[in-house]
Amino acid sequence: MSTIRTPAVAGLFYPADPRQLAHDVQQLLAAAQPHELTPKALIVPHAGFIYSGAIAATAYATLQPIAAHIRRVVLLGPTHRVAVRGLALPGVEAFDTPLGRVMLDTAAAHSIADLPQVTVSAQAHALEHSLEVQLPFLQSVLPDFTLLPLAVGMATPEEVAEVLKTLWGGAETLIVISSDLSHFLPYATAQRMDHDTVQAILKLRQPIDHDHACGGTPINGMIVAARQHHLTPHLLDLRNSGDTAGSYDRVVGYAALAFTEGIEHAN
């Protein structure tokens, strides 16, 4: 079995050329509206960069002042192609992208391996874009980090929260939840639904249904964890593909949210 997970959607969701990719990500980060927060966790969309890259950049730009302190990223995203029970580790040592190699935190993987809801599935990760598209942003913002990627299938919010609690760490650990919002609704309908979904997250109210957010399962787990750890959610950006690069007829919703420890107010 290969110990490296190779990119599945380079050239589809984002440029395969390293220089073009680095340029595009830096351009998106430079254009992002600044929010002066210290996130412990982020919710970030995962569509093609021309659709959701600007919204994702709004989330990742908040990390720039604290980037040197973040040494580990716990990354959770929904499975789109392979059905999984629980949360699946990839069973590899590293993930490659056009920007280079990201080493996995094998000690952290070992620390959750005995939990009954944690499995290993290289197949679940092989073609999954929800985790992969976050990596070029993380590689562009963070100088030095290891990764713990989890493909989230059928799991309860409590099962997800238990994994997060085990991996919580301190300021060195960032949690990223990868999710888009509504899918293929008319523009105005999507705006209403996405507004309601975001309001529920801001009030730490779950469950968030999968037709409201494809990453509903990891989001619901994050909401449970946020309550347990007294985190405060903040909305950073809310748009849809009609606002960025698509038609208004059938849009996909995207939100960027940050969770901070204690009470912080976004500027």
Mean predicted confidence (pLDDT) in 213-229: 98
3-state class (DSSP) for residue 170 = coil
Cα separation, 255 vs 61, in Å, equals: 14
Query: Residue 265 — very low, low, confident or very high, per pLDDT cuts 50/70/90?
Result: low
Q: Which residue is associated with the tokens 């993930």? A: 95
> Which of 126-135, 175-184, 207-216, 255-264 is least confident?
255-264
Residue 167: predicted pLDDT: 98
Mean predicted confidence (pLDDT) in 204-221: 97
Residue 61 has pLDDT above 70, yes or no: yes
Q: Which residues contact 116 (CB under 8 A, 6 or more apart)?
A: 86
pLDDT digits 0-9 by tens, 28-55:
999 999 899 999 999 999 999 999 999 9
Residue type at 19? R
Residue 175 has pLDDT above 90, yes or no: yes
pLDDT digits 0-9 by tens, 110-149:
999 999 999 999 999 999 999 999 999 999 999 999 999 9
Cα separation, 173 vs 162, in Å, equals: 16
**What's domain 24-31+39-259's superfamily in CATH?**
LigB-like (3.40.830.10)
Residue 246: predicted pLDDT: 82
Whole-structure pTM value: 0.97
Query: Residue 2 — very low, low, confident or very high, per pLDDT cuts 50/70/90?
Result: confident
Residue from 91, 84, 222 nearest 165 by CA: 222
Residue 169 has pLDDT above 90, yes or no: yes
pLDDT digits 0-9 by tens, 62-113:
999 999 999 999 999 999 999 999 999 999 999 999 999 999 999 999 999 9
Residue 254: predicted pLDDT: 98
Q: Taking all residues of the chain, what is their mean pLDDT, rounded to a whole number?
A: 96
